Amino acid sequence: MKKQDLDFILVPLGIAILSAYHLWLLHRIIKHPTKTVVGINSIHRRLWVQTMMKDPAKYGVLAVQTLRNNIMASTLLSTTAIMLCSVIAYLMTNSVRISGESFKPRGQDLVVGDTSNLGLSIKLFSILVCYMLAFLLNIQSVRYYSHASILINSPPPKLLPLAEVGGVEYVTKAVNKGSYFWSTGLHAFYVSLPFFLWIFGPIPMLVCCLLLVCLLYFLDVHSGYSLSVGDDEKKEDNDDGLARVFG
C-alpha cells in the first residue's frame, strides 16, 4: 500500500466518526433535550426571557446587557473566522511555494500521506470551508441576538395584548436561535482542528477526530439534570424537542 492510499482510508473514516457523533447529538437534542447541554440551556433561556419580559422597566437593562455580551462573543468568533479564512485563502493562492519538496524539506518521511500540490490544496480548502461556515453561523447568531435585544423590551402584556399571545414565544425563539447558531459555529471551529492536522498526514487527523469526539461528548452531554417545573412541561420538552430546537 502506498502512503498516499492512507488518505483515502483514514480521512473518510475520521470524517465518518465526526459525522456520526453530530448526527447522534442532533438525535439526542431532539428526543432527549434534558440530557444535553444545548437542551438544558434552551429550557433555561425560555424561563429567562419570560422573567425579563414580565417587567421590562425593571429587567430591561439586564436583558440588553446580557444579549450585548452574547453579540460581542459572536462578533469575536466571526471576526476570527474571517481572518483565518483570509490566511487560508492566501496560502491556497500561493500553494506552489509551500507545497511539494519545499513544504517539508527536512521531515519528508514524517508526513505520511499525500504531499502533492493537489492534496495540499484540498487540505487547505477543507479548513477554509470550516472557517467560512463558522463565520456565517456566527453572523446569523449576531442577527438573532440583535433582534432579540430590541424585542425583549417590548411593552408588557397589560399594555399590548398581542404580546401575551405570541410576543414572549417569538423573543424566546429568537434568543434560542442565536444560541444555536453560536454553538454550531463553535463546533465548526472544533471540526477545523482535524483538517488542520491533516496537513501533517491522515494519521494525526484520525487521532484528532477520536480525541475530538471524546472532548465534544464531555462538553455536549449532561445526564444529571431533572426538570422541576412539572411533568407536563417535561413531557413537552421530550415530545416536542424538534420544535424547541428549530422552531
User: What are the residue ranges spanned by the domains of the chain?
Assistant: 5-246
Give Rg (Cα) of the chain: 22
- Which has the closest alpha carbon to 183: 23, 10, 39? 39
CA dist., res. 227 & res. 81, Å (int) = 36
Q: How many helices (H) and strands (E) does the chain have?
A: 10, 0
Q: At what angle do helices 168-198 and 56-93 cross, to 10 degrees?
A: 20
Give the percent of the chain with pLDDT over 70. 77
Q: What is the pLDDT of residues 75-128, one digit of tens each?
A: 999 999 999 998 888 877 775 444 444 444 444 455 667 777 788 888 889 999
What is the helix (H) or strand (E) element at residue 26, kind and residue range?
helix 5-31
Q: Decide: 96 and 103 in contact? Cβ < 8 Å.
A: no
3-state secondary structure of 36: strand
Average pLDDT over residues 31-47: 91
Least trusted range by pLDDT, from 38-47, 128-137, 234-243? 234-243
Task: Give the C-alpha separation, 72 to 178, whole Å.
Answer: 12
Q: Give 239's pLDDT tier (boundaries 50, 70, 90).
A: very low
Global pTM exceeds 0.85: no
Identify the weakest region by mean pLDDT among 16-30, 33-47, 105-119, 231-245: 231-245
Examine the pLDDT at 163 and tell me if it is beyond 80.
no
How does pLDDT run across 179-214, given as a tens digit for each residue?
999 999 999 999 999 999 998 889 999 999 999 999
Q: What pLDDT is recorded for position 117? A: 78
Using an 8 Å Cβ cutoff, are 221 and 37 in contact? Answer: yes
Asked whether 55 and 153 are in contact (CB, 8 A), the reply is no
